[in-house]
Amino acid sequence: MLDLTGKVAFVAGAGSVAEGWGNGRATAVLLARQGARVFGTDYSDEALAGTSAIMEQEGHRNWAGRKADMTSTEQVKQAVDACVQRFGRIDILVNNIGGSAPGDPVSLSVEDWDNQMDRNLKTAFLGCKHVLPVMEEQFRTEGKGGAIVNVSSIGSMTFQVGGRVHVGYAASKAGLEAFSRATAIAYVRKGIRVNTVVVGMMQTPLVTHRLTKQLGAGAEDLVAKRNAVIPIGRMGDAWDVANAVVFLASDEAGYITATQLVVDGGVTAARPGAIEAASA
């Protein structure tokens, strides 16, 4: 099951914003554990070095990390070329880069709006722009295209994450999901599947470090509050995301395209008060 031996995966945002397991890092390592050769990019040397250290520790020799800003079309193209040069092909693309900036249309600066579109949407567009031709050529020559997994957020559906409004995040992640479906249909007869993992409230370094800083609340407080509103009773973690990404990238998901897999412990399905009512 989920054997990725022989496959090459390109993971955009394969580091972690702080020490520990971010979604991209866990995904890169899980892909390697399942047998894939993994090429990871990150714009942070430190983040990349952290992932490289784990790959080395676990003995994954078929790992290559490259510094690249995935909002730059030149740097994405260079990274994709470097991956093909190193490993000969690309079977899996994971567009993991993303992050939120709070604000409504008045309070969110124009600069932050543009930044949200670049970070959450343009990175996936550029990943697809440069990787799709590689996969299409593989399909033409050997009948094997590839699988693309984009990483979104329930912020695309709930419009308020952790009590704060994020119109830029909501719009860019909803755009990412629409982009994924449209791209999936454009490439459905070219052996390429495109799906999205829609991530709920996870306990990753992104939350415990960055959000804690932004909100000025203690990490424990924030985690306890979030655990309480999740139907399954706790926040998920980076491995919950990585498991979903690896499944959608694997041949076992071969009939699945143009869809979203929501990994949120039930949050988006439950109205406020539903948990209390169900357990009364």
24 binds ligand NAD (CB under 6 A): yes
Residue from the set 30, 97, 174, 267 that interacts with ligand NAD by CB under 6 A: 97
15 binds ligand NAD (CB under 6 A): yes
Least distance between ligand NAD and beta carbon 240 (Å): 10
Burial 21-52 (b: 16+ CB within 10 A, else e): bbbbbbbbbbbbebebbbbbbbbeeebbebbb
Residue from the set 35, 66, 99, 229 that interacts with ligand NAD by CB under 6 A: 99
Nearer to ligand NAD, 119 or 193 (CB): 119
Nearer to ligand NAD, 101 or 184 (CB): 101
Give the containing element (helix H, strand E) for 77.
Answer: helix 73-87
Least distance between ligand NAD and beta carbon 112 (Å): 14
239 binds ligand NAD (CB under 6 A): no
* Interacting span for ligand NAD (CB under 6 A) from 1-9, 39-47, 129-137, 138-146: 39-47
| Closest chain position to ligand NAD (CB) | 98
User: Residue 145 and residue 134: Cα distance in Å, rounded?
Assistant: 8
**Token reading at 144:** 């094997």
Residues 170-189 within binding reach of ligand NAD (CB under 6 A):
none
153 binds ligand NAD (CB under 6 A): yes
206 binds ligand NAD (CB under 6 A): yes
Q: Beta 160-161 vs 164-165: how paired, if at all?
A: antiparallel
**Token reading at 182:** 């449209």
Give the containing element (helix H, strand E) for 223.
Answer: helix 219-229
169 catalytic residue (yes or no): yes
CB 116 within 8 A of CB 101: yes
Burial level of 276, CB count in 10 A (0-12/13-18/19+)? Answer: exposed
How far from each other are the two terminal CA atoms of the chain, in whole angstroms? Answer: 40
Residues 40-69 within binding reach of ligand NAD (CB under 6 A):
41-44, 47, 68-69
Q: Interface with ligand NAD by CB under 6 A: which residues?
A: 13, 15-17, 22-24, 41-44, 47, 68-71, 96-99, 119, 123, 151, 153, 199, 201-202, 204-207
Active site residues: 169
